[in-house]
Copies of this chain bind each other. A is one copy, B any other.
Amino acid sequence: MADVAREAGVSLMTVSRVVNNKGNVSTETKQHVQDVIELLDFRPSGIARGLATDQTQTIGLVVPDVENPFFSAVTRGVENAAYTEGYNVFLCNTEENPNRELTVLQSLEDNRVDGFILCSTRLTEKQLEEVLPRQSAAVLINRKLPTKPSWSQVGTVRIDDTKSGRVAVRHLLNFGHRAIGFLSGSQNSSSGHGRLRGYQTELEKAGIDPKSDYTLPCQPTVSGGYLAAIQLINRHPEITAVYCYNDLVAVGVLQACNETGRRVPIDLAVVGNDDIPLAAIVTPPLTTCRVPCYELGTQVVCALLNILNQPDGFSQDIVLQSEFIVRASAPRTYQEHES
């Protein structure tokens, strides 16, 4: 920048004003300075600017596993929205490990991100209550905030998971299923808990006691679903339908059925969750609860920028709607079943 100033015969401040396009600069000097900038191919250092202004134009995104299609869709949404708004994003993968999550959070703070997005955090309430207060802006995806303290700089964007669970189970109940299992995913997943609540609520409403044996946690992956399904099927052969934490788990169930000679949906109906692209592709295609992953990503950036731009913080608690999608793995009519 000093070079530019010297070459253009003006002060540093004038260059700064031109670069930031603010303050009063005569049109001609401005033009001249711009020419010199062009000529010298000058680019201001974001990090020096960050140090001076305390704003880095960067945000941190923390996800359990980028390779999971759900998170990669969210990531894409976040990245695109951030790009549009002129922000850069630090991506951190926690590999589902809470300690690593704490560590990366620290590293993001060290890098002075303007705010961050915690997607499906695996942290406990207690850990969150320790970490969140010291941030100037954060938004959580798929996680409710502790009700007690209310932070103006922490927002949430989530899906009504309980409702998703209820809709899925009601669908299965409607078609005569009584013994319905639930593969509940990661044990410290907030969404998992919500869906479990929905599952239980709906069963109870139908006068069915939700047997705790019918609920099994698992890794939120295809192999996790496969392993859990084998276990569930062996222990409870009377089960005729399974609701799954997510579509990956549901695909694992499909594989288990395939291997053990069970026909889907005739012997076992399967319902997934999320509607990742894979859901429509597998055989049979999955009945599932569609979560607008990409929108989740774009919305969360909006929410974060709102907090950043409001003078004294302006956090929101956005709840997006899911949409139940009926496909062959748990169809609407049971012609085949009845035939």
Binding site for B on A (CB under 8 A): 43-48, 50-51, 56, 58, 61, 65-67, 69, 72-73, 75-76, 79-80, 83, 88-93, 95, 100, 104, 106-112, 222, 251, 255, 277-278, 281-283
Contact = CB atoms under 8 A, between A and B. Distances in A.
A245 to B, nearest CB: 17
Contact of A112 (B46, B93, B110): B46
Contact of A92 (B51, B73, B79): B79
23 contacts: A43-B106, A43-B110, A45-B110, A47-B111, A58-B90, A65-B76, A66-B72, A66-B76, A67-B69, A67-B72, A67-B73, A67-B76, A72-B72, A76-B93, A79-B91, A80-B95, A83-B93, A88-B111, A89-B91, A90-B90, A255-B281, A281-B282, A282-B282
A255 B88 CA distance: 37
A281 B251 contact: yes
Q: Which 7 A-B pairs have the closest CB atoms?
A: A91-B91, A283-B283, A72-B72, A79-B93, A46-B110, A46-B111, A67-B76
A112 B67 CA distance: 27
A112 B89 CA distance: 14
Contacts of A277: 222
Contacts of A72: 66-67, 69, 72, 75
Nearest to A100: B83
Contacts of A255: 281
Contacts of A90: 58, 88-91
